[in-house]
Structure 1
Amino acid sequence: MANPLITRRQWLTTVSGFSLAALSGCGLPTLRDEQIDLPPYPRNAPEALQRLKSGNQRFMADKPFHIHESATWRNLLVEGQKPYATVLGCSDSRVPPEMVFDVGFGDIFTIRLAGNIIDEDVIGSLQYAVAHLHTPLFVVMGHENCGAVTAAVEEMLGKAEELQHIEALISLIKPGLRKLDFSLDRTTLIQAAVEANVRWSMQQLLALPGAAKATREKSVTLVGAVYELNSGRVRFLDGA
């Protein structure tokens, strides 16, 4: 694994075989974040989490940096990547993690599936992030008014029946909602269900022997979060 004290630009420059001087000599634009006061590449999970939180604050304030989007930066990523966080989120078009956290190409490894569910494909992608990308931070992010979670709640209330493949998807969500108080008003119930589903996904991940060992040894940190559609805020769970 790369020296944690090295900047990611240095790492990417090495693996791509380019130098910034050579690139600028070819007439390509300079890296945009050269003019932005960014902290060094995150060395560990707390620093990665703080980078995500800072990006979300900019997103909420409508003052994004839009970093790591230039042609020069994309060229540096051709031969390799070194994301500092992995985000498991929902496929919902209103919740793109890269925009929500104001990050660019190569910053986060993103896995998106309706309802941020856990299945074999997701587990395989997460194992790849651990074994090959060495991301120290893993975020499970749900969001308000999630359609997949709502469908699971409606079915558990006996108010709806879904198509075959949608049913297969929400069947992976329902076990995590069984302890909810279904007498709550609908808005409160859906809010509680979204958070319960995030915690359910985290619980399933922590039940995996490899994940349990990695979190116990603190080589990986797992946190949960819920995105608020109106404010744009990412609310991290358990005081993260």
Structure 2
Amino acid sequence: MASNRRTFLAATAVGALAAAPPPTATVPRPCPATARAALDQLLAGNRRFAAGRPLHPHESGGIRRALAAGQQPFAVIVGCIDSRVPPELVFDQGLGDLLCTRTAGEVLDEAVLGSIQYGVEELRIPLVLVLGHERCGAIAATLDHLRSGVPVPGHLELLVAEIAPAVHRTRAVPGDWAEHAMRAHTAWVRDVIRADPAFTAAHVDAARFDLDTGLVNLLP
């Protein structure tokens, strides 16, 4: 009797699987087609994040299966490695939405530029956003080096060398030197990307993330 019951249950399970509809091949997912629409979606997501009401979109199994066949992110984020500034969380986006490249202080090198170019040319992404943030450790380290004159160890020398020009330019500006330097450096990274003919197909902006409020604001 037990053997017959096991056979019946196995046959029932197989039948149910056979009758079940196949996994959805594609999942409808609105993707901003313009830089303005992409920026609006990022800022709307950031407002949800800052208000403590994130949607955590595009994390389902259906989305994951659909993305296995290809990706169509709508923005490139050039950000800092700081653990407090993960772009997907800051902008309340999900799988397949953002192409992120992160280095300390958003420092550019050929690998970063090549990654941005891949997004703009190969994936046709309309928006590149450089995201700086307050109390940036890379900025603080550069300030400390310039104040002390102590040689920079190892690979950190590249970071300091790239950030130092913005630090020097803002030395005489009244107020928070680190904040001024961060803004100047973030805007400089944006301008370098804007001026590169490899990225003319995309709109390039810069923004600042506030660690206290959670809000992102565009830089002039």
Is TM more than 0.5 here?
yes
Deviations 1:103-152 (A, max 9, x none): 00000100011111111111110110111111100000011111111111
CA distance in 1, matches of 2:77, 2:164: 22
Q: Which has the larger radius of gyration?
A: 2
CA contact (8 A) 1:151 1:160 kept: no
Partner residue of 2:32 out of 42, 45, 50: 42
CA contact (8 A) 2:193 2:204 kept: no
CA distance in 2, matches of 1:86, 1:167: 26
CA contact (8 A) 1:84 1:136 kept: yes
Partner residue of 1:125 out of 115, 127, 136: 115
SS of structure 1 residue aligned to 2:162: coil
Partner residue of 1:177 out of 167, 170, 180: 167
2:207 paired with 1:225 = yes
Query: What is the letter of the counterpart of residue 184 of structure 2?
Result: A
For structure 1, which segment, 132-141 or 165-174, has the greater mean C-alpha deviation from structure 2 after superposition? 165-174
Deviations 1:26-66 (A, max 9, x none): xxxxx7xx9xxx9x421200000000010000001100001
CA distance in 2, matches of 1:91, 1:68: 23
Q: Within 5 Å, which residues of 2 pair with 1:24-173?
A: 40-158=30-148, 160-173=150-163
Gaps of 5+ in 1: 1-20, 26-30
Identity of aligned residues (%): 37
CA distance in 1, matches of 2:157, 2:181: 17
Gaps of 5+ in 2: 1-20
Q: CA deviation at 1:87?
A: 0.2
CA distance in 2, matches of 1:24, 1:222: 35
Q: CA deviation at 1:74?
A: 0.6
| Alignment match, 1:192 | 180
CA distance in 1, matches of 2:31, 2:120: 18
CA contact (8 A) 1:86 1:138 kept: yes
Name the TM-score, length of structure 2 as normaliser: 0.84
Query: What is the letter of the counterpart of residue 128 of structure 1?
Result: Y
| Alignment match, 1:204 | 192
CA RMSD of aligned residues (A): 2.0
CA distance in 2, matches of 1:193, 1:171: 13
| Alignment match, 1:28 | none
Q: CA deviation at 1:162?
A: 2.9
| Alignment match, 2:3 | none
SS of structure 2 residue aligned to 1:226: strand
CA distance in 1, matches of 2:31, 2:158: 40
CA distance in 1, matches of 2:100, 2:202: 16
